[in-house]
A and B are shown apart, each in its own frame.
Chain A
Amino acid sequence: MRISGFIAKAALALSLVAGGLAPAAAQPKPGGTLIIALESEPGTLAPHTTTDTVAYIPATNIFNGLIGLDFNFQPTPDLAESWSVSPDGLTYTFNLVKTAKWHDGKPVTAEDVEYTFNEAVAKSHPRAASWWPNVASAKALDAHTFEVKLKSAYAPFFTLLASPLSSGVLILPKHIYQGTDPKTNPANQKPIGSGPFKFQSWQRGSHIELVRNPDYFKAKKPYLDRVVFQVVPDSSARVLAFERGELDFLHWYIVPYDQVAKLRSDKRFVVVDKGGEAPATNGFMLMNMRNEYLKDVRVRQALAYAIDRDDIRKKALFGEGKVAKSPINSGLGWVFTDQYNYPRDVAKANALLDEAGFKRGPDGKRFSLRIAWGAGRDYEGRAAEIIKDNLKALGIDVTVQVMDRLAFVDKVFRNWDFDLANQLFTTGPDPTFSVTPRFHTSQIKKAPYVNAMGYSSPAADALFDTEYKELDREKRAQMWKDIQRILMTDMPALPLFEVPTVNAVSARFKDVITGPQGYIQSREDAYEVK
């Protein structure tokens, strides 16, 4: 009796610790309003036309995907309740739930899915060109069966379909969009979806309000009456509002890292260290290989040895997150390896620079570089200051340049007018669609968020071009480890830190985060503790 009481208490404590994460034993009760902070206003609520993260935060509550992802990156049911793959990995068949309805009452059918793939995603999503050409056909077999045939095997296909940010796959109602341009359909501002919440109102510049969909096809869900997305652009005002209970949820990349320790110790809040596994984002210092100094691999390696990344983690990120030891985030456990990391070694850095022929002048200086960063993420600026300080000791004079985000993109990615640049890159949910585009030779083009460094390695390209066809996960992982070895040796971009996965949630809510895309997932499982 005594023991079981202890166990019950321990279980209770555990569920408290898990907070908004694990489905708790308690029975969820209906009711309540969850207020989610947005850092800027989305441009659209039907974001099959963009990879603008903030647009997916409300959209994933209004629309359903075909499938979802669990924490092991395995597919989970959404509109598709089951699926099968042919042994050659070319034919994917999805069986849709039969009870799903659009918010206007019409049934959801495979026709809608077919329309979404062929007309919206293929024609409007920015990343479609990277995978759609490999699709032989996408069609409805009957009212509730949908089939995709690929031209060649594509290992990360499930992950792709389950990641709306990477693929744009959120199923749209054909009867609303048919015959219109999906980019400009007025329904993008007043969407009709099949998801757990229905669109209610959009007060421009202020908030977006969604209300419970009573006819949702998943039994009993959702539990919340309303989900409100409020735009709060100022980071300190955001934390103030969160602490005062005006906001309930700050997702992982808008939580101010210096406040995390304080929030952890406050019973009114729960800090959830999960839900960032899919974006798996690393901070990089890109190196322009066209620069007369940086084109020498020894110089790039010297920089990697000289920069105190643990200091960046401690000071720029206030001790949250991890030092990035690979161009792939450690959240992608099945491919990540840290065996090619550079330990800090200033003596070796100096020796490498001497060896490269850039000896110190009489004033102790070797040469000068610029480091650019885009305004908005203060920790990237602090990292730049630390890098400047570290390289000064090496005899390299660094000028820090800051500009607004689009001017930064223009300078770094369109004009290649930079020496060093701090930039975040996602490395998940699968490295095929987030690592390959940054380092492949074919991605040396004047466009945003691709290979601005001008890095080209035939060995790496050969692996990039074949790894996604390998259906054996072990073998594929090994290929990615080889890629990590090459990238860390050639060092076109130094991984600085892993952006910490810390979601701050009000303790009054549970199950707010249930998957690896915690910031852009549906809140159908979330409920308020009464």
Chain B
Amino acid sequence: MSMVDLPLAPRPVSALRIFARNRSAALAGLVLAALLLVALAAPLLAPYAPGAIGVGPAMVGPDAAHLFGTDELGRDVLSRVLYGLRISLLVGFGAAGIATALGIVMGGIAGFSGGLVDDLLMRVTEVFQVIPRFFLAVVLVAFFGASIWNIIGAIAILSWPDIARLVRAEFLTLRTRQFVDAARVAGAPAGVLIFGEILPNALAPVVVNGTLMVGQAMLLEAGLSYLGLGDPSQVSLGLILQEAQQIMRRAWWTTAFPGIAIFLAVLSLNVVGDGLNDVLNPRSRER
């Protein structure tokens, strides 16, 4: 590398490439928006009630009458997928929202304050963290009953320590950085330091993990359903997959469509998370 190259480093990113990048995030955003819309409008779009039995013959492949085919009870798979998506997204956003809020508050306080407060809060997150999470979900759901709200609550309780620890780890390194010291010397109060100076800089991994968590919560709920702990009155995509596993090799459409739906939803969430990261992360924005 010659001295002439110096002004060019770091590698310049062409506008076209940013655009291409934004397009993939934008595409994922569109897919996600479409899925959300479809989920919200499920009652209008679904040709049948999701639990209605015998609306068609049992286990018939996709055709004009049933676009996604029917399952072993003659239920319309399209209608079930639409309603299932609604429930799965509700679980995902509900649980991740609660967990992220809790995690930021706890992690931020611990990382900024240090000392006794840090120790105490970290011990609390550790207690949650060292208990096998999936097991705890199973016990909580078994204890409180397999209702959709209990599942959301259980997943949120299990997930917040992730965020809290990540926020704290960022705070630990950031709070000794110059720009924080500068603000501290300038007499900024703790709140301003936490939320104005450190948090925006610590947010990138939180956003990454938060968006991943929406998908993760959807998948965790699916895992609970696989073990037979789904809410049968609020059928999620995971529960549809669980019910279909027995017949999946005879009637691929019963597992393919709900599987693709949950895959698309989680994948687009993840890609959108990337895009958000670019916008929210000050260091990438500078480029």
Bound together: yes
Identify the A interface with B (CB < 8 A). Answer: 235-236, 256, 258-259, 262, 311, 314-316, 318, 375-376, 378, 381-382, 384-386, 388-389, 399-404, 407
Partner pick for A403 among B58, B72, B142, B250, CB 8 A cutoff: B142
Interface contacts beyond A315-B73, A401-B146: sample of 14 additional A-B pairs, CB < 8 Å, sorted by A: A256-B246, A259-B250, A262-B250, A314-B58, A375-B229, A382-B243, A385-B51, A385-B53, A385-B232, A401-B145, A403-B142, A403-B145, A403-B146, A407-B142
> How many angstroms from the CA of A315 to the CA of B59 in the assembled complex?
10
Partner pick for A402 among B52, B72, B228, B246, CB 8 A cutoff: B228
- The dominant DSSP class at the B interface is loop
Closest chain-A Cβ to B52's Cβ sits at a distance in Å of 7
Check A258 against B250 for contact (C-beta < 8 Å): yes
When distances are taken between beta carbons in the complex, the residues of chain A under 8 Å from B73 are 315-316, 382, 385-386
Check B230 against A402 for contact (C-beta < 8 Å): yes
Check B146 against A235 for contact (C-beta < 8 Å): no
* Any A CB within 8 A of the CB of B279: no
Check B229 against A404 for contact (C-beta < 8 Å): yes
Check B72 against A375 for contact (C-beta < 8 Å): no
Bits for B207-236, please: 1 = Cβ < 8 Å to A, else 0. Answer: 000000000000000000001111011000
* Any A CB within 8 A of the CB of B282: no
Q: Closest B-chain residue to A401, C-beta based?
A: B232
Check B232 against A402 for contact (C-beta < 8 Å): yes
- The dominant DSSP class at the A interface is helix
User: What are 25 A-to-B residue pairs whose CB atoms are below 8 Å?
Assistant: A236-B249, A258-B246, A258-B247, A262-B250, A318-B72, A375-B227, A375-B229, A381-B232, A382-B243, A385-B53, A386-B53, A386-B73, A389-B51, A400-B233, A401-B145, A401-B146, A401-B232, A401-B233, A402-B230, A403-B142, A403-B145, A403-B229, A404-B142, A404-B228, A404-B229
Given contacts A258-B250, A382-B72, A382-B73, contact A399 B52 (CB under 8 A): no
When distances are taken between beta carbons in the complex, the residues of chain A under 8 Å from B38 are none
When distances are taken between beta carbons in the complex, the residues of chain A under 8 Å from B53 are 315, 385-386, 389
* Any A CB within 8 A of the CB of B22: no
* Any A CB within 8 A of the CB of B245: yes
Closest chain-B Cβ to A232's Cβ sits at a distance in Å of 14
> How many angstroms from the CA of A382 to the CA of B142 in the assembled complex?
21
Closest chain-A Cβ to B233's Cβ sits at a distance in Å of 6
Closest chain-A Cβ to B51's Cβ sits at a distance in Å of 7
* Any A CB within 8 A of the CB of B196: no
* Any A CB within 8 A of the CB of B54: yes
Q: Closest A-chain residue to B243, C-beta based?
A: A378
Check A378 against B246 for contact (C-beta < 8 Å): yes
> How many angstroms from the CA of A385 to the CA of B53 in the assembled complex?
8
> How many angstroms from the CA of A399 to the CA of B228 in the assembled complex?
17
Q: Closest A-chain residue to B75, C-beta based?
A: A385
Closest chain-B Cβ to A512's Cβ sits at a distance in Å of 24
Bits for B40-82, please: 1 = Cβ < 8 Å to A, else 0. Answer: 0000000000011110001000000000000011100000000
Check A375 against B228 for contact (C-beta < 8 Å): yes
Q: Closest A-chain residue to B143, C-beta based?
A: A407
Check B72 against A315 for contact (C-beta < 8 Å): yes
When distances are taken between beta carbons in the complex, the residues of chain A under 8 Å from B228 are 375-376, 402, 404
Given contacts A258-B247, A378-B246, contact A388 B51 (CB under 8 A): yes
Closest chain-B Cβ to A95's Cβ sits at a distance in Å of 49
When distances are taken between beta carbons in the complex, the residues of chain B under 8 Å from A378 are 243, 246
* Any A CB within 8 A of the CB of B248: yes
When distances are taken between beta carbons in the complex, the residues of chain B under 8 Å from A375 are 227-229
Most buried by A among B51, B58, B246: B246
> How many angstroms from the CA of A382 to the CA of B74 in the assembled complex?
11
When distances are taken between beta carbons in the complex, the residues of chain B under 8 Å from A399 are 233
When distances are taken between beta carbons in the complex, the residues of chain A under 8 Å from B54 are 311, 389
Closest chain-A Cβ to B258's Cβ sits at a distance in Å of 16
Q: Closest B-chain residue to A389, C-beta based?
A: B53
Check A389 against B52 for contact (C-beta < 8 Å): yes
> How many angstroms from the CA of A138 to the CA of B215 in the assembled complex?
65
| Interface of chain B residues 125 through 167 with chain A (CB within 8 A) | 142, 145-146
> How many angstroms from the CA of A389 to the CA of B229 in the assembled complex?
22
Check B72 against A258 for contact (C-beta < 8 Å): yes
When distances are taken between beta carbons in the complex, the residues of chain B under 8 Å from A402 are 146, 228-230, 232
> How many angstroms from the CA of A262 to the CA of B72 in the assembled complex?
16
> How many angstroms from the CA of A382 to the CA of B58 in the assembled complex?
13
> How many angstroms from the CA of A384 to the CA of B73 in the assembled complex?
11
Check B58 against A315 for contact (C-beta < 8 Å): yes
> How many angstroms from the CA of A251 to the CA of B114 in the assembled complex?
60
When distances are taken between beta carbons in the complex, the residues of chain B under 8 Å from A388 are 51
Q: Closest B-chain residue to A411, C-beta based?
A: B145
When distances are taken between beta carbons in the complex, the residues of chain B under 8 Å from A235 are 245-246
